[in-house]
Every structure is written in structure tokens, then in C-alpha cells.
Amino acid sequence: MSKPDHYVPEPESVLLLRQKLLRWFRTNERDYPWRTTADPFKILIAEMMLRRTKAEQVRTVYEKLLEEYPSVNALATASAEKVEGILHNLGLHWRTPAFIEVAQQIKTRFGGTVPRTREELLSLPGVGDYVAGAVLSFAFNDKEWIVDANVVRIFRRYFGLRTTKEGRRDRHIIETAKLYSYCRVPRKANLAILDFTALICTPSNPDCVSCPIRKSCDYFNS
């Protein structure tokens, strides 16, 4: 049966999806340096780099930037030319000033400590809803939602949700993400959905044969 345009899945259905993804995640978690730290500054830097950029491209640049500027204070006083030189391989050069500006604002407005609320994080340059949610979830294990193209894709496929072209700002997608992340281990739950969409539920040619959630998936069953 076709679902209404703004349908939000039942909490039980979201719980089942989360349980299955967490089970899969136990043996399939990807290994990245920003996942071995709970330092919110380092996680913020990683998430700003990861916008529209593949994780493998980010790894070396992330390590080099933090080797040179390991703290908020160090990055706040960095030379724009030096930071540009490190970030050059990532492309999207419009992002470069944001790294220094975000460190400067954290230093001057928040005493050098990465803020702990979504509203405060959103007030920083280069930080949108996804990055804010990722920092709160991955650094602090807060029950905070994240929505990017990958999250939209799996919700659309698994639950059969209708979305606008982009979907990231659709209220029913955000509500589903809030249900999904509201658990004891939001950090792991959110990382699980990112890894699953990178390895199994890919944009094209998803690996439905290996998919552990296919029996309940609207996309597979239709």
C-alpha cells in the first residue's frame, strides 16, 4: 500500500531497523582516525572535512592538519595560506576560511571549548544541522539525529517513504532520524547507518543479496 507523503514509521519499526544495523555494525565498522577519539574539536574538524568528500580522501589531510594544529587555540592563530596548503587536496576551497573562523569563534565565544548544544554549534561558520548532530552524537553520545543523503536513501528505501528531491529537510525524514537516534548508543547507531549505506545500501547497485535487512525492506520487496 502506498504511504502518505509525510508518513513517519512506527517507533517499533524504527527500533527493529536500528537493532539490525547495530548487529551488522559489530563486525563491519569502518576504521577511521576520527572514530578513535571523543575530542569534540577533532570530530568537528573531521565532519567539516567530510562534507561532500569521501572518507578515504579525508584521512591523510585530517591527520596532517591536526598534527600541525592539534588544538582550538593553535588553529585559531593559523596562517590561512598554510591551512589552504594542507586542505588543497580536498578541493572545495571555499571551506578553507571556515576552519580558522570556527576555531576563532570557539576560542572567543566559548572559551576554547566546543559548544554542547545544536543551537550553539549551528551559530558557528561552516556548521550545518548534519555536522552539529554528528559532533553531539559522536563526541558526546547525545541522542542527536543526523540526516544526509545516505540517511535519506535508506529511510526512503527501507520504509518506502516519499521525499522531496533532496529530502534532507523533509520533516518526516528528520522525525524518523530522531526516532532512530533515540537510544542508549546513539553514537554507534548513527555510525552504523553511515557505514551500512557506504558498504551495502549504496546509491547505485545496492548489495541486496548480502543485505541483512532485506526481508523488511520496502525497496527489496517491491
List the CATH number of the domain containing 81: 1.10.340.30
Give a yes or no: residue 190 inside a domain.
Answer: yes
Domain closes at, from 107, 140, 173? 140
Cα dihedral sign for 43, 121, 112, 61?
positive
Indicate whether 75 and 104 sit together in one domain. yes
Indicate whether 198 and 210 sit together in one domain. yes
List the CATH number of the domain containing 163: 1.10.1670.10
Indicate whether 39 and 113 sit together in one domain. yes
Give a yes or no: residue 4 inside a domain.
Answer: no
Which three cell numbers, joined as nine digits, stand for 194? 553511515
C-alpha 189/C-alpha 19 separation (Å) is 9
pLDDT digits (tens, 9 = 90+) for 104-148: 999 999 999 999 999 999 999 989 999 999 999 999 999 999 999
pTM of the model: 0.94
C-alpha 36/C-alpha 110 separation (Å) is 25
Give a yes or no: residue 5 inside a domain.
Answer: no
Domain closes at, from 140, 170, 185? 140
Indicate whether 127 and 180 sit together in one domain. no
Counting residues of the chain whose pLDDT is more than 70, the rounded percentage is 99
Indicate whether 150 and 85 sit together in one domain. no
In eight-state DSSP terms, residue 198 is: H
C-alpha 127/C-alpha 133 separation (Å) is 10
Give a yes or no: residue 103 inside a domain.
Answer: yes
Indicate whether 155 and 84 sit together in one domain. no
Give a yes or no: residue 2 inside a domain.
Answer: no
First to last CA, the chain: 11
pLDDT of residue 1 exceeding 70, the answer is: no
Indicate whether 91 and 185 sit together in one domain. no
Indicate whether 122 and 174 sit together in one domain. no
Domain closes at, from 140, 162, 177? 140
Indicate whether 25 and 60 sit together in one domain. no
How many other C-beta atoms lie within 10 A of the C-beta of residue 212? 13
Indicate whether 185 and 110 sit together in one domain. no
C-alpha 133/C-alpha 121 separation (Å) is 9
Indicate whether 83 and 172 sit together in one domain. no
Residue 2: the pLDDT is: 62
Q: Among candidates 162, 157, 154, which has minimal Cα distance to 221?
A: 157
Give a yes or no: residue 1 inside a domain.
Answer: no
- Domain containing 194 equals 11-29+145-221
Q: Half-sphere exposure of residue 107, counting CA atoms within 13 Å on the CB side? A: 14
Residue 165: the pLDDT is: 85
| Identity at 117, one-letter amino acid code | T
For residue 166, name the pLDDT band (cuts at 50, 70, 90).
Answer: confident
Return all residues near 98 (Cβ < 8 A) that are at least 6 apart: 48, 125, 126
pLDDT of residue 218 exceeding 90, the answer is: yes
Total count of domains within the chain: 2
pLDDT digits (tens, 9 = 90+) for 41-87: 999 999 999 988 889 999 999 999 999 999 999 999 999 999 999 99
Q: Cα–Cα–Cα angle for 179, 196, 21, nearest 5°?
A: 50
Indicate whether 68 and 84 sit together in one domain. yes
